[in-house]
Structure 1
């Protein structure tokens, strides 16, 4: 593949799924590739799902599922000479995952009889000594308000450290290998492969390139209803966003609101080497399904001041869990003191055994999902218990969990009628050893780095004998027909709000929470039209004070609180009460923390 010698007016970039390995519609895939695209670009992962991948060296999905997607990309390269660019392969983008992915593609080329393919590997792991030197030079700082300062112990205990590459390594790889077929990148800034491919082909507006990449790295998640397969048409001054699932559509609000997704604030998105500014960005509805985006601006860092984010996780002991539920109303009326009684019983039994441990009891149905952020501790008719024990060895964690589960089953309580047992558990054995417990310990910014030299590039020539005989795909009737969108059904919250008032959820079109990295939680509220948006904005109820009250946090823990007019949205970001995926975690993805905002009462009715 090489850039055209003629002036190009547009690039068609296809993303079949927001996270490689999660599966996509093959009919849509081949129909799109056959119709003509310039590149297939896909993101492989992030820190969303916690520290397990980075700390334990595991892929985010089974290699069999990643192999399925990679083999399809190889087939597209063979048949149609469509190049593919991948970022953060395997989830964490470590070197071993880059190598494994390349081996999978090479094996497929040989086994299927494809033509020889040129595979480029870009590595993202960085030496710990480099991190130590940068720390000593005062060139390392936290990435976000909730991140503690980096320590030598953090560096030493990390199983590996990866840096998040920008567009530069991809651009170098393409310029030095214009006949490339597939680029497999280690940990990468999600929009970087998109921006690099556009720049390589002469599209020099990095504001457009990065904005397009930021939307497309999630596939067509910005569509309504959210879907997987997305197509972007990039131009010199704009890009169009088109969902490929015929049941979905993009609107100006759905696209604009996606810039809020998993970011601390929507108007300035920081990344390697600069920041994407979206405060002047405009959105135009082209038809009933596609949107054109203009006027995003990329502001580069000063020469010599290039920064990258780097990430690391460690193993902090071993853990064992047990799962079950409580249903007896007599017990549920005295749940708190009974659980304290159990903790005391476990402590008494473990005393003298010579090891330290931690025991966490999550009470889903009371405060399990939100943990320390929960304000409503009402107990329902059932409570689901997720117990977690941590110790220095697996055997020790098993002992603690086993003792706690036994106590949950048989500990007495005043007024007890059901003397056969208290605890309903669905699996046996109930105590489930989980192995090493990973925790994030590095999530920082490194200043004054070489954006290319930090990320080594290796070329692999996958040999094939080009004997593959292609069988044309059989189309089924109605493949290309646009299906009618179903009208959404309305659901009202209970209990009903007081007369003349409504809940925020009654008037919002989107209300969600999400991790913004491992140390922050971000909250987004979007509205269906300007009338509703301005009506809510005028109440002045969406502010820092309200967030503090609803989430029981101090003002210093509120990192952002602002309205974003382009998306008719409000955003707040707070420091997470616990690092994502660590011991005692209640919601690793951070996606179920929006409920208190749903019930914020507004001083006007629903209509």
Structure 2
């Protein structure tokens, strides 16, 4: 191992927030040569919808996974740095763990590396066990908007995985303390970080989990966002900093990351307990480094261990078409015109189907959550989606519908050549099986180790590798993202009244994100403590305000709160749909923040 300078310090390196998305070769080898105790990466997420889990598709092509693995395997050989990758391949299914083992074995043999010990941990759950837990009343929905689980959904799920905690990792590390690489299936994102620290004698699980929650996204909480990050774990605190030149962590950027894609920032539930952050403190150590103290972990009672289940199914086949409408005469009557087309399609088809017309420009992104239903745009992007029992049927629906969009008449029509502009031919696209989440539930009173079996692979290597040239290779130029100059006013709204401003004028971050497949979370953060306090004390950002802004009832609001450590306001609501399902308008839910931009606030500065 490339050791830390002290037994009271661990250096953890994460080269990328989602394994397989590539990282800087120079930064990677500079970090390894400087000395790190472990390379740990997370590879999984439900952010992009259910297709990976339902259709066994990796988050990136196999070649990209091989490329990232090659660097880690080489670091194991040249510097004895152990590596851990969780949720390998995206959804954490067993076949992707097995694929990683196969790739590593090939790399060891091909490159003449030394023999290595590789551990694979599986995370798929037997459906019979889930059904028994259902009968025992030990399965419950995970969050707002999640329906009760029924056996029929368990049966038709392609596969079901569970998020493992630290226990399977700790068992594997204890039995094979000289491991080189661990490849794990679906995991609670901070688990491998917390487990490695505990394995090395750092027993404060609050700090361990807090560090893991930040590091599993790489340097995403840096300013500007970047990839590679280092965490230095010590007995009563840890430091975190990015490795991209010019990037930095700030107290606010780090604290605010605990809001990211979570229902609430102060209590983060995971397998085996809750990470409590009310007492956490954030200290700027130097230009790029923030120090974190005070996080706590509340363990579940003995025998009450819980894990989250994730499952997805195939629900028919779908096809799409897309294009745009610019004619203002047509746009002025587009709702009734589309209704006429849909009625025409149904009159021509004698089998069951679903048809969804997305009107990007008219409530297309936010759908029923959109508060502004009166603005008439200059042009509208149309995305039509059909679903039916077979691909042929789904294709037929979009062919008929797209033809209707092209040639259906409307009142006052002057442009008789056609109504519809499409950029790509063929416009109609067969999409294949349609995936949907159908399991997102908590399973109670489980064995946190027995659920996740592991296997040790002794990779035979010739140990004949000879390094030629520098390890770091040639530095690639950084990707420079130039932010536009701040607007003096927003183009779609008039200036705010005298003495007032828009929330978007004074927020440093204002964003939306899915918090699992069934919830939408909204974050507003500030850089100025005085501004934050005035917003907090204004009484404007309330449950009632969120309900009005997003056209929802009070019962659909999960949490509305201010969180002082990040100078942030947070609201989480039941989204009213399942992420990535049929008719989805914003799978990532990253464009649901706009109504908050224009909330009028008292001008907070003197």
Task: Tell me whether the two structures share a fold, i.e. TM-score over 0.5.
Answer: yes
Could you tell me how far 1:485 is from its partner in structure 2? 12
Q: Which residue does the alignment assign to 1:381?
A: 378
Could you tell me how far 1:8 is from its partner in structure 2? 1.2
Task: Give a deviation string over 1:566-604, Cα, whole Å, max 9, x none.
Answer: 110010000012100000000001111111011111122
- Structure 1 segment 407-556 matched on structure 2, within 5 A: 407-473=404-470, 489-491=485-487, 492-494=489-491, 495=493, 496-556=495-555
CA contact (8 A) 1:247 1:483 kept: no
CA contact (8 A) 2:259 2:523 kept: yes
Q: Distance between the aligned counterparts of 2:556 and 2:415, measured in 1?
A: 45
Q: Which residue does the alignment assign to 2:110?
A: 111
Q: Which residue does the alignment assign to 2:127?
A: 128
2:342 counterpart of 1:358: no
Q: Distance between the aligned counterparts of 1:306 and 1:372, measured in 2?
A: 38
Q: In the superposition, relative to structure 1, how do residues 472 and 259 fare at CA in structure 2: closer, same or farther (>3 Å)?
A: same
CA contact (8 A) 1:247 1:484 kept: no
Determine helix, strand or coil for the equivalent of 2:158.
Answer: strand
RMSD: 2.0
Residues paired across the two proteins, number: 602
Q: Which residue does the alignment assign to 1:284?
A: 283
Q: Distance between the aligned counterparts of 1:291 and 1:561, measured in 2?
A: 27
2:316 counterpart of 1:324: no
Determine helix, strand or coil for the equivalent of 2:108.
Answer: helix
- Structure 1 segment 550-589 matched on structure 2, within 5 A: 550-589=549-588
- Structure 1 segment 82-481 matched on structure 2, within 5 A: 82-350=81-349, 353=350, 355-377=351-373, 378-473=375-470
Q: Distance between the aligned counterparts of 1:421 and 1:403, measured in 2?
A: 15
Q: Distance between the aligned counterparts of 1:473 and 1:592, measured in 2?
A: 44
Q: In the superposition, relative to structure 1, how do residues 403 and 414 fare at CA in structure 2: closer, same or farther (>3 Å)?
A: same
Could you tell me how far 1:438 is from its partner in structure 2? 0.5
CA contact (8 A) 2:240 2:289 kept: yes
Q: In the superposition, relative to structure 1, how do residues 474 and 211 fare at CA in structure 2: closer, same or farther (>3 Å)?
A: closer
Could you tell me how far 1:474 is from its partner in structure 2? 7.2
CA contact (8 A) 2:24 2:475 kept: no
Q: With structure 2 as the length reference, what TM-score do the two structures score?
A: 0.96
Could you tell me how far 1:499 is from its partner in structure 2? 2.3
Determine helix, strand or coil for the equivalent of 1:76.
Answer: helix
Task: Give a deviation string over 1:330-365, Cα, whole Å, max 9, x none.
Answer: 111111111111111111111xx3x20000000001
Could you tell me how far 1:287 is from its partner in structure 2? 0.7
Q: Distance between the aligned counterparts of 2:302 and 2:203, measured in 1?
A: 18
Q: With structure 1 as the length reference, what TM-score do the two structures score?
A: 0.96
Determine helix, strand or coil for the equivalent of 1:458.
Answer: strand
CA contact (8 A) 2:531 2:605 kept: no
Could you tell me how far 1:236 is from its partner in structure 2? 1.2
Could you tell me how far 1:606 is from its partner in structure 2? 7.0
Q: In the superposition, relative to structure 1, how do residues 485 and 315 fare at CA in structure 2: closer, same or farther (>3 Å)?
A: closer
Q: Which residue does the alignment assign to 1:58?
A: 57
Q: In the superposition, relative to structure 1, how do residues 553 and 92 fare at CA in structure 2: closer, same or farther (>3 Å)?
A: same
CA contact (8 A) 1:225 1:248 kept: yes
Task: Give a deviation string over 1:223-270, Cα, whole Å, max 9, x none.
Answer: 111111111001111110101111211100000000000000000000
Q: Distance between the aligned counterparts of 1:563 and 1:136, measured in 2?
A: 40
Q: Where do 5+ consecutive residues of structure 2 fail to align?
A: none
Could you tell me how far 1:561 is from its partner in structure 2? 0.3
Task: Give a deviation string over 1:120-147, Cα, whole Å, max 9, x none.
Answer: 0000001000000000001110110221
Q: Distance between the aligned counterparts of 1:138 and 1:335, measured in 2?
A: 49
Task: Give a deviation string over 1:72-93, Cα, whole Å, max 9, x none.
Answer: 1111111111111111111110
Q: Distance between the aligned counterparts of 2:154 and 2:498, measured in 1?
A: 57
Any runs of at least 4 consecutive aligned residues in structure 1 with deviations exceeding 6 A, and if so which?
Answer: 474-480, 482-488
Task: Give a deviation string over 1:534-570, Cα, whole Å, max 9, x none.
Answer: 0111111111001000000100000000000011001
Q: Where do 5+ consecutive residues of structure 1 fail to align?
A: none
